[in-house]
Amino acid sequence: MRLIAGNAEQKLLDRLLDACKERGWVKARGKQRTNSTHILAAIRTLNRLEVIGETLRAALNALATVAPEWLQAWVPPVWFERYGRAVDEYRLPKGVEARKVYAETIGTDGMQLLAALWSDPTPIALRQLSVVETLRQTWVHQFYVSEGQVQLRAAKDLPPAGERMDSPYDPDARYGNKRSTTWTGYKVHLTETCDENQVHLITHVITTHAHQADVAQTEPIHVALQAKALLPEQHIVDAGFVDANLIVTSQKHYGVELIGPVRPNVSWQAKTPGAYDISQFQVHWQTKQVTCPQGQKSQQWNPAVDAWGNHVINVRFSRSQCRQCTSRPLCTRAKTDPREITLRPQAEYQALQVVRQQQTTQAWQQTYNQRAGIEGTLSQGINAFGLRRSRYRGLAKTRLQHLLTSTAMNFVAWCPGCKVSLMPKHGLLALPR
Ligand code: SF4
């Protein structure tokens, strides 16, 4: 706790890296690779009914500890029976309607507690308890009031999963999914060196909420490595960490070549032999015009921002020219509208074209193959160091655990003759005497 309070969590890993730097075992401008894995929070996974029941129970338990007289003065006796035991699925009512009634009973009780907390002369300190804030936020997410009745929100009206609290016992833990894996907790991103004939050392660790996208961590990793004077020349990552903007800005701001597969062109034109996909259009950036494969010039060039916040340029050809075009079936499936294409800004567009071409070559594939080694490091962390499950509650302590674990993994990688005894069941590190 003192390490967290003093903002000193990083110190142990950084000291070890400094010692390795002095000995030439780790250096800037080499190759590094990054990947993430899911971390299970140190809590029981709860379903929606359990979340609301346990959130109210946790608030009542906290208030019973800090203000027992205040609570006893007004709390209905039936609540002792209703919230005296853990809210467990096997004790919950069966059937959709019965469960809805039960949820709304809890919702009404919670609303009554919040009203009592926000009424005079209740001490303000009670409503400032973190567990009360969790109750307040969870009730905003889960319920609404209609004609004086507390109603459970329909699933479609809930906030995104990443914004909801999934347990009052670890409000930082979030629901996440990656491909077919779903979990409640966190995500850890490990970055390590991967130069040939060098020991591979973890240079940076980021722990995030489970729902946060990998692509959002690429720049923070570069910022952190720059601060440690450990920026690589090549940073090898999977597709989740790459986009056109990052390819450009990594090189421009950090001198880092970001190596990872970019999304292929998935338009029907790109998948149809002979059809006119975007690569067959000539873009004239100076004159802000595009020439199509039939030699026609575009009529409109409109900068915009797409649904994901990316700057794009919407290009539109002439309706009359496209209508008369004999190659129209190869170009557009629109019934009457002309061909439209969407471009990224010049630097990003050109970078995407270059990478799409490069990633078809054997040389690029050989470089990219080095990324796979990070899976072994993550596996070692999970099997030998208990990385998969958080030992603590909360993002700050989970982050500290990951920093200490990474330091220990570096120590094992760096220490000549040091061997780890793998004990997956207990996640213990055993060093030979
Ligand atoms: S449909 Fe329009 S944009 Fe496409 S090739 Fe024909 S003239 Fe060019």
pLDDT at 424: 41
What's the start-to-end Cα distance of the chain, in Å?
A: 31
CA-to-CA distance for 235 and 228, rounded, in angstroms? 15
Using alpha carbons only, what angle is made at residue 57 by residues 121 and 72, rounded to the nearest 5 degrees? 40
135: nearest Cα among 62, 210, 56: 56
Quote the pLDDT of residue 110: 96
Asked if residue 355 lies in contact with residue 262, where contact means CB atoms within 8 angstroms, the answer is yes
Nearest CA to ligand 1 atom 7: 322
The predicted pLDDT at position 178 comes to 83
Q: Is the distance from the beta carbon of residue 350 to the nearest atom of ligand 1 less than 6 Å?
A: no
Fold held by 2-42+176-262+365-430: Nucleotidyltransferase; domain 5 (3.30.420)
Determine the residue of 280, 282, 292 to mutate for testing ligand 1's pocket, defined as the one with the most ligand atoms within 8 A of the Cβ atom.
292
pTM tops 0.75, yes or no: yes
pLDDT reported for residue 433: 35
Ligand 1 touching residue 317 (CB < 6 A): yes
Q: Looking up tokens 């209905």, which residue turns up?
A: 76
Kindly state if the Cβ of 296 falls inside 6 Å of ligand 1: yes
Q: What is the reported pLDDT for 149?
A: 93
What six digits make up the tokens of 255? Answer: 């001198």
- Residue 292 beta carbon below 6 angstroms from any ligand 1 atom: yes
- Give the burial class of 217: count Cβ atoms within 10 A of its Cβ; 0-12 exposed, 13-18 middle, 19 or more buried: buried
Can you give the pLDDT at residue 430? 43
Q: 359 alpha carbon to ligand 1 midpoint, in Å?
A: 29
Sorted by sequence, the CB contacts under 8 Å of residue 282 that are 6+ apart come out as 290, 291
Distance 344 CA to ligand 1 centre (A): 20
Q: What is the mean pLDDT of each run of 10 residues along the chain (433 residues)?
A: 78 88 88 96 92 96 95 92 88 88 95 94 93 96 93 92 90 89 94 90 95 95 95 95 94 95 88 92 95 95 90 94 94 93 93 89 94 94 93 94 93 67 41 39
CB 132 within 8 A of CB 110: no
Which residue ranges make up each domain of the chain?
Answer: 2-42+176-262+365-430, 48-163, 268-344
Distance 292 CA to ligand 1 centre (A): 6
Residue 75 near ligand 1, beta carbon < 6 Å: no
Tens of pLDDT, residue by residue over 237-288, are 999 999 999 999 999 999 999 999 998 788 999 999 999 999 899 999 999 9
- pLDDT value, residue 90: 81
Q: Could you tell me if the CB of 51 is within 6 A of ligand 1?
A: no
Judge if the beta carbon of residue 327 lies within 6 A of ligand 1: yes
Task: Provide the pLDDT for residue 418.
Answer: 59
pLDDT score, position 98: 92
